[in-house]
Amino acid sequence: MLQTLQQPWPWYVAGALIGLIVPALLLLGNKHFGISANLRHACAACFPAGIKFFQYDWRKEIWNFFFVGGILAGAILTIQLIPNPDPVVIHPALERELAGYGIIDHSGLQPGELFSWSSLFTVRGLIMLVGGGFLVGFGTRYAGGCTSGHAIMGLSNLQWPSLVATVMFMAGGLIMANLLLPYILHL
């Protein structure tokens, strides 16, 4: 059993487990799956008399905090209990392309040349991490939810806005990865 837990699981196992969360949440309490709403709930809990947008009964959604806490605890436990000493394996063509941008550290899940304190205070780091973080937050609010909320919960409920949002998320990701990112990485 421990041997099974120490190996990466196939995508179809994780996909099925995530897929089963949607009907379980709906059947157990008419709850909706999504992560981005937790920031609103946290702000409502911390600033109850402040901004009108945060004035609602956030306690009805307290299960969301436990859900996100479980995600964080699971990630920490996985990193601590099942360390992976092998470097991340990527396609040789992608490895050559990334080397052209100066990205050669594949020892972790994120390239060290992009995701480190020293790279944060460069032009490239500010654009990618700060600018990208702002755009993700703005887009999440503007779209009325995050990728997990729209693509998993919204599509399973056959919601037209979720289909539009998911298509736009994918199009934005393709444009960023194939058109904008090469220019940013050359900065």
pLDDT tens figures, 116-138: 888 888 888 888 888 888 888 88
172 with 120, same domain: the answer is yes
For residue 33, what are the domain limits?
1-83
How far apart, in Å, are the Cα atoms of 58 and each of 17, 37, 146, 155?
27, 10, 19, 25
What is the pTM assigned to this prediction? Answer: 0.71
Point out the domain boundary residue: 83, 106, 133: 83
Return the pLDDT at 6.
65
Which residue type, as a one-letter code, is found at position 91?
H
78 with 120, same domain: the answer is no
Return the pLDDT at 5.
65
pLDDT digits (tens, 9 = 90+) for 9-39: 778 888 888 888 888 888 888 877 778 888 8
Q: Count CB-CB contacts under 10 A for residue 43.
A: 15
Which residue type, as a one-letter code, is found at position 36?
S
Residue 98 lies in a domain: no
Angle (CA) 144-146-150 rounded to 5° is 80
Contact 152, 88 (CB under 8 A): no
Helix intervals (H) in 47-175: 63-81, 92-100, 117-120, 123-125, 132-143, 147-148, 155-156, 160-175
Residue 108 lies in a domain: no
Positions in the chain whose pLDDT score sits under 50: none
Residue 125 lies in a domain: yes
Q: How many domains does one find in the chain? A: 2
Residue 168 lies in a domain: yes
12 with 67, same domain: the answer is yes
Dist CA 80 CA 185 (whole Å): 32
Return the pLDDT at 171.
94
Dist CA 104 CA 8 (whole Å): 24
